[in-house]
Amino acid sequence: MSTDEPLVRVDDLQKYFWENDSLLDRLLGDEPVAVRAVDGVSFDIHEGETLGLVGESGCGKSTTGETLLRLQDRSDGDVEFDGRSVYDLEGAALNDFRREAQVVFQDPFSSLDPRMTIGEIVTQPLEIHDWPWTDPGVETRVEVRTDGISDDIVTATAADDIDKLVTPTDGVATAHVTVRADADVERLAEDVAADHTVDVADGVVAEVEEDLTVEVTRDQGITVHVSVDRSTGELRRNHATGLLDRVGLSVDQLDRYPHEFSGGQRQRIGIARALALEPEFLVLDEPTSALDVSVQAQVLNLLDDLQEEFDLTYLLISHDLSVIRHICDRVAVMYLGEIVEIGPVEAIFEEPKHPYTRALLESVPRASTAEQDRDIETLSGDVPSPRDPPSGCRFRTRCPKVIPPADMNIDQDVFRDLMDLRERVEGRDVSLETVGDGGEFEFEDGQVSGGDVDAFVAALKDRLLDRKLPAEHDAVVEEALAHLAESDWDGAAQRLRETYESVCERENPPLAVSHADSDHPAACHLYDASVPGEPGSDDYQTD
Ligand code: SF4
């Protein structure tokens, strides 16, 4: 299915939102602050493929989808659709893109206008894009099959606009007509009329396979003509009826309103609306997350079937790994505006590389009781703000594998705790006045009074750390915390940084290909052999 050239190519896409950027802010001298929702994302999606974009809420998945569809302006980077930058498109070319790339929204309750009937909702895009279309450059043709009649006496013609209803192949729209003679021609006509349009003349039945009108006349020979013989409104309503039928809704529901449908049915309506313009590419933005578990699988199966039937390409955005596994070919894992790992779905689920991907997979509940007691590598800390993302690797503030300095012999758990301690000190996220029992340490001019520094440090250490540290690290922590007895936050942070600074905070790891896995890169220094003196090498043990 896939070709060499991707249908969608996203290249270093950035989308920043700006705070403190109003005229008043500028008059007051406030600096604008960038909220880096999407920060340098790159991936390809090939024709017929489903790429999953997975990550926690707020990681930038939906903004990526909206920006690549041009529903949001980009801050930088590019998106190519079918070889053309979508940001360069104007006029008819932009209209074509809007038709070819559609979206199914997360919330089937708010994405449908409650004042419109289902028929109006599904036909609205057809009206906006003036469907059905005809192209004067398309040739029209009729292929005739005969039954009981000689081919030589049949002449067939097609109207110039049958490409309104027949998809052209290589610039030719072809209608298929069967011409039959039968003793009981009226009965035969009734039989075939159930599925196809027929016409009868002097003992001859002409039947057209496509949704067209056929006329047959008998004179010297037999003449067949196919055409589009219905009003635009009728064609649109028929098209909507066919789509509703295809997504599993009854055609007699066309004149009903959204509130009369369940969540699953509304999402089916949203899917029918997205398919109305015969798109090539769909962004599915959490298409099942607002649905009951019982109907999620039905909607996913429907999307799977429609992809096959209509040759669709999907970008599936979801926070739910089971949804991703159900339907995707490849998966891109996003964290705080960046892609941290991308690869085939089996590789991501069976051999995840990035510690964040592992943590996401660990957090999926297991049905097997044997697995329920497994050791879970939990994530510490909160998701940092995209206004002020951490330096280096953005996952370092929560990473259970954060890399210690090259010459340091330290347990991973101890190092993680020390990194958390540093985080709090650097963020000044400790209330010094309440250290000890009931605020037993008094501060005068920012200093612990009464020479109680040692007791203050012991009490503060007790509060900040749940474990007893090895002696060498205990000494460093005590030196650092002693600075806080003088409210010297910078001194405390500096003492911890000079001992515990990690490569993970100095350099943001690229989405590097390693270990010959050209289709499964991960942005983590554990896989980056180019970081000198760090454990990023082929023989480094990541477990
Ligand atoms: S680079 Fe460091 S902090 Fe980031 S995921 Fe890898 S080990 Fe963790």
What integer is the mean pLDDT of 157-186?
90
What whole-number distance in Å separates Cα of residue 257 and Cα of residue 99?
25
Distances (CA, A) of 13 to 9, 44, 142, 214: 10, 12, 47, 51
The pLDDT score that the predictor gives to residue 348 is: 96
Q: Encode pLDDT of 424-438 as tens digits.
A: 999 999 988 888 877
The reply to whether the predicted model has a pTM over 0.75 is yes
| Angle 382-383-385 from CA coordinates, rounded to 5° | 115
pLDDT over 90 percentage in the chain: 72
- What sign does the CA torsion over 508, 511, 514, 520 have? positive
What whole-number distance in Å separates Cα of residue 406 and Cα of residue 418?
16
The pLDDT score that the predictor gives to residue 83 is: 95
Instruction: Report whether 216 contacts 200 (CB < 8 A).
Output: yes
What integer is the mean pLDDT of 63-89?
97
Give the residue extent of every domain in the chain.
8-115+258-350, 120-256, 404-501
What backbone phi and psi angles, to 5 degrees, belong to 434? -105, 15
The pLDDT score that the predictor gives to residue 304 is: 95
For ligand 1, the distance from its centroid to the CA atom of residue 535, given in whole angstroms, is 11
The pLDDT score that the predictor gives to residue 380 is: 67
CATH 3.40.50.300 fits 8-115+258-350, yes or no: yes
For ligand 1, the distance from its centroid to the CA atom of residue 527, given in whole angstroms, is 9
For ligand 1, the distance from its centroid to the CA atom of residue 5, given in whole angstroms, is 32
R_g of the chain computed on alpha carbons: 32
Instruction: Report whether 496 contacts 425 (CB < 8 A).
Output: yes
What backbone phi and psi angles, to 5 degrees, belong to 526? -65, -20
Ligand 1 atom with the smallest distance to the CA of 400 is 8
**Token duo for residue 381:** 């800390």
Instruction: Report whether 87 contacts 98 (CB < 8 A).
Output: no
For ligand 1, the distance from its centroid to the CA atom of residue 341, given in whole angstroms, is 12
What integer is the mean pLDDT of 89-94?
96
The pLDDT score that the predictor gives to residue 1 is: 43
Residue 335, strand partner residues: 338
User: Which of 504, 508, 514, 528 is the pocket-test mutation for ligand 1 (most atoms within 8 Å of CB)?
Assistant: 504
| Residue 34: count of CB within 10 angstroms of its CB | 17
pLDDT top residue among 192 and 325 = 325
What whole-number distance in Å separates Cα of residue 159 and Cα of residue 154?
17
Q: Is the pLDDT of residue 492 over 50?
A: yes
For the chain, give the mean pLDDT: 89
Q: Is the pLDDT of residue 421 over 70?
A: yes
What whole-number distance in Å separates Cα of residue 419 and Cα of residue 436?
23
User: Which of 334, 336, 401, 423 is the pocket-test mutation for ligand 1 (most atoms within 8 Å of CB)?
Assistant: 401
What integer is the mean pLDDT of 208-234?
93
Q: Encode pLDDT of 134-158 as tens digits.
A: 999 999 999 999 998 899 999 999 9
DSSP state of 445: T
Element (H, E) at 394: none
The pLDDT score that the predictor gives to residue 540 is: 45
Ligand 1 atom with the smallest distance to the CA of 527 is 6
For ligand 1, the distance from its centroid to the CA atom of residue 210, given in whole angstroms, is 58
What integer is the mean pLDDT of 88-93?
96
User: Which of 353, 393, 412 is the pocket-test mutation for ligand 1 (most atoms within 8 Å of CB)?
Assistant: 393
Instruction: Please give all residues whose beta carbon lies within 6 A of any atom in ligand 1, as ranges.
Output: 354-355, 393, 395-396, 399, 401-403, 504, 509, 524-526
**118-127, 367-376, 382-391, 426-435: which has the minimum mean pLDDT?**
367-376
**Token duo for residue 58:** 């707020």
* Inter-helix orientation angle 293-310/263-275, to 10°: 20
Instruction: Report whether 172 contacts 141 (CB < 8 A).
Output: yes
Q: Which residue shows structure tokens 């090895």?
A: 470
Q: Would you put residue 248 in left (φ > 0), alpha (ψ -120 to 50) or beta?
A: left
The pLDDT score that the predictor gives to residue 2 is: 44
Q: Encode pLDDT of 15-30 as tens digits.
A: 999 987 777 877 887 8
| Angle 309-315-316 from CA coordinates, rounded to 5° | 95
User: Which of 403, 503, 507 is the pocket-test mutation for ligand 1 (most atoms within 8 Å of CB)?
Assistant: 403
